[in-house]
Amino acid sequence: MKNPNLNSVLNKEEFDKRDIIYMLSLTDKNEVENLYYRANEVRKEFCGDDVHLRGIIEFSNYCEQDCLYCGLRISNDALPRYRMTKDEILATVEHIHKAKIFTVVLQSGEDFSYTKEFISDLIREIKLNYGLAITLSLGERGFEEYLEWKNAGADRYLLKHESANKKLYSAIHNKQSLDERIKHLVYLKSIGFQVGSGNIIGLPGQTPDDIADDILLCKSLINDMASFSPFIPSNDTPLCNVSKADVQLTLKTMAVARIVLKDAHIPSTTALGSLIEGGREKGLEVGANVVMPNYTPNPYRQNYKIYEGKICVTDDPLACSGCLKFKIESIGRKVGESFGHSLK
Ligand code: SF4
């Protein structure tokens, strides 16, 4: 490495905010490559070569929230809405199980028409019939609901904080508060969920300082999973004219997050694959160790439209895991054959 300062930072055990901003601000091609190389080393040391597949079912695109960046926001009247029935969800779980994927991610907007009891029954049936690990990604729900779902057998909860900057959080979430989001994350962790959070890279007004805080917040929450995904604008939202996230900043953020968070599961997101061709493979090479094949069936999958240009929405969902397995092996990694639970 040419820059002795870079070398000493990359090899530190603990990182402060200044170190993180320094790593995020690298622009020299060789230095950025060194950052990626180090992230890949840390991934290998703490997570091994396995890439864990999580089969995702986006079972409802109704949402009561009005996040400025999201195509699912309640005030987007242009989006055709859908809700999957329990039988449809379970039939999709069956496909995930048959594909030898060990985790199902049940994701929706904040849709309270799916009651506490409905979700609990669903969790119990999936556990009983398929024995899969279950990740819930249902937005901010009640503390009683979280507890009941944990007791029903759910393993993990994904609730991204999106931005650790209080002002920015409030601006993009219709005046809601970051403190409240953090309360939910702390509670979820306290009742035994493996918890995932993370940010959106490229929000208007976001600074490297904010991204450093995002990574440090994931660290302080002892996140088992952390997702750093690029902003891509969605039509019919207030942010429709904002530019997409910068590819290099997205990859640098993932790499820095790996170096700082060490053993957290970090997905290479579908949004990254939508931002740049081969994005998911690239993400796996800069620190990620999780990919989430989309099993949402037709005709619904094209309408889970958080942003424009999402890849694979017209593909046969049953072909997704085979395609991803091929891509994973083509970069010299292997598909995990375990539940891929928290490494903490
Ligand atoms: S980001 Fe989540 S909570 Fe916000 S509008 Fe979209 S689906 Fe709803």
pLDDT tens for each residue of 189-206? 999 999 999 999 999 999
CATH of the domain at 215: 3.20.20.70
pLDDT at residue 316, as a whole number: 87
Q: Residue 175 pLDDT more than 90?
A: no
Task: Flag whether 33 is in a domain.
Answer: no
Compute the distance from residue 326 Cα to the ligand 1 centre, in Å.
32
User: Helix or strand or coil: residue 337?
Assistant: coil
pLDDT of residue 322 exceeding 90: no
Look at strands 133-137 and 194-201 and give their pairing: unpaired
pLDDT of residue 314: 87
In the predicted model, is pLDDT for residue 1 greater than 70? no
Residue 2 has pLDDT above 70, yes or no: no
Q: Is 124 among the domain residues?
A: yes
> Would you call 224 exposed, middle or buried from its count of C-beta atoms within 10 A (0-12, 13-18, 19+)?
buried
Sign for the pseudo-dihedral over CA of 115, 294, 89, 104: negative
Angle between helices 17-24 and 208-220 (to 10 degrees): 130
Q: What pLDDT is attached to residue 125?
A: 98
How many A from CA of 71 to the centre of ligand 1? 8
> Mean pLDDT for the chain?
96
| Residue among 56, 66, 67 to mutate when testing ligand 1 (max atoms within 8 A of CB) | 67
Which run of H or E residues covers position 204? none
pTM, two decimals, is 0.97
- In whole angstroms, what is the distance from residue 219 CA to residue 264 CA? 9
Q: What is the mean pLDDT of residues 318-340?
A: 92
Number of structural domains (the chain) is: 1
- C-alpha of residue 65 to centroid of ligand 1, in Å: 6
**192 within domain boundaries:** yes
Report how far ligand 1's centroid is from the alpha carbon of 325 (Å): 29
| Whether the predicted pLDDT of 4 surpasses 90 | no
Residue 317 has a pLDDT of 85
- For ligand 1, the distance from its centroid to the CA atom of residue 137, given in whole angstroms, is 11
Mean pLDDT of 98-123: 98
Residue 52 belongs to what H/E stretch? strand 50-60
Q: CA torsion angle for 219, 220, 222, 226 (degrees, to 10)?
A: -40
Tell me: pLDDT of 319 over 90: no
Whole-number Å distance, alpha carbon 69 to ligand 1 midpoint, is: 8
What residue ranges line ligand 1, CB within 6 angstroms? 63, 65, 67, 70, 72-73, 109-110, 139, 306
Domain region containing 107: 51-334
Distance CA 321, CA 54 (A): 10
Q: Atom 7 in ligand 1: which residue has the minimum CA distance? A: 109
Whether residue 245 is contained in a domain is answered as: yes
CA of 227 to the centre of ligand 1 (A): 16
The answer to whether position 60 is within a domain reads: yes
Distance CA 167, CA 245 (A): 20
Q: Whose CA is nearest to atom 3 of ligand 1?
A: 65
Query: Which conformational region is residue 214 in: left (phi greater than 0), alpha (psi within -120 to 50 degrees), or beta?
Result: alpha
Residue 226 belongs to some domain of the structure: yes
Domain presence at residue 2: no
Overall average pLDDT of the 46-74 stretch: 98
Whether 271 contacts 230, CB under 8 Å: yes
Assess if residue 284 is contained within a domain. yes
Question: Which of 306, 307, 310 maximizes ligand 1 atoms within 8 Å of its Cβ, making it the mutation to test the pocket?
Answer: 306
Atom nearest to 139 CA in ligand 1: 3
Neighbouring C-beta atoms of residue 140, cutoff 10 Å: 16
